[in-house]
Amino acid sequence: MDSLELAVHYEPGNPHDPTGGDLYDWFQLPDGTVHITVVDALGHGITSTRSTLNVTHAVRTLALDGHPLTAIVKRADEILMPLDSDLLATVLLARLNPATGELSLANGSHPPALLVRSDGQADFLNVRGRGIGYPLAGSEKVLQTRMEPGDLLLLYTDGLTQSRRDPIEGEARLIDSARKQSRDPTASLPGAIAGDMRTVVLHPDDTLALAVRMGRPGN
């Protein structure tokens, strides 16, 4: 089976808060695919941490119960909103088959994943959808593509691209940083990208960056 490398960087918007509203979860499904969830809940501190934990637990349960990727955001909204009507969270779901590189993405109002190919080509993988607590919550479709050995997938929260309050400018800088850092060791890559992106912080926010790299057979 091809190797899969994963690393994450997290920093709260307020350095005095030990936790925040950004969270990730990953686990292997019975068919061998790897499921990754990235959540960004409204707010900061312990309250938002509780919200993100509830979302990640709901998504994990639904995924392990065999619900299709396209239905999980909507179903999580149906489960959680009666319990917490104030919950508002964006969600990005990824499924990756380490053996074949097949990648599927579902989205609920979350910033798009960035895929950097081994030759330096970089593209945002946009999927329309609405997050938990939003009207008509759910991912409109599942985007499917394939990662090749050496390719890099970056999942993140908007604290990474909106530190200067301009998300379009932030996305352009993210592409430049990811290309520049793409050959760095995976373990240090998310932190290095966050360092590039947050040299100027006009809008403090919780920040999470998660990198996934496809290895080569036997690595």
**Residue 24: band (very low, low, confident or very high) from pLDDT cuts 50, 70, 90:** very high
Q: What is the DSSP letter of 183?
A: T
User: Percentage of the chain surpassing pLDDT 70?
Assistant: 96
**Residue 208: band (very low, low, confident or very high) from pLDDT cuts 50, 70, 90:** very high
**Residue 47: band (very low, low, confident or very high) from pLDDT cuts 50, 70, 90:** confident
Residue 2 has pLDDT above 80, yes or no: no
Residue 10 belongs to what domain range?
A: 2-217
Ranges assigned E (strand) in 74-136: 89-96, 102-108, 113-116, 122-125, 129-130
The pLDDT value recorded for residue 218 is 45
Mean pLDDT rounded to a whole number for the chain: 92
Residue 41 has pLDDT above 60, yes or no: yes
CB 20 within 8 A of CB 12: yes
Query: What sign does the CA torsion over 158, 163, 169, 172 have?
Result: negative
Residue 199 has pLDDT above 90, yes or no: no
Domains of the chain: total:
1
What's the CATH code of the domain at 74? 3.60.40.10
pTM of the model: 0.93
Burial annotation 25-58 (CB, 10 A radius, 16+ → b, else e): bbeeeeeebbbbbbbbbebbbeebbbbbebbbeb
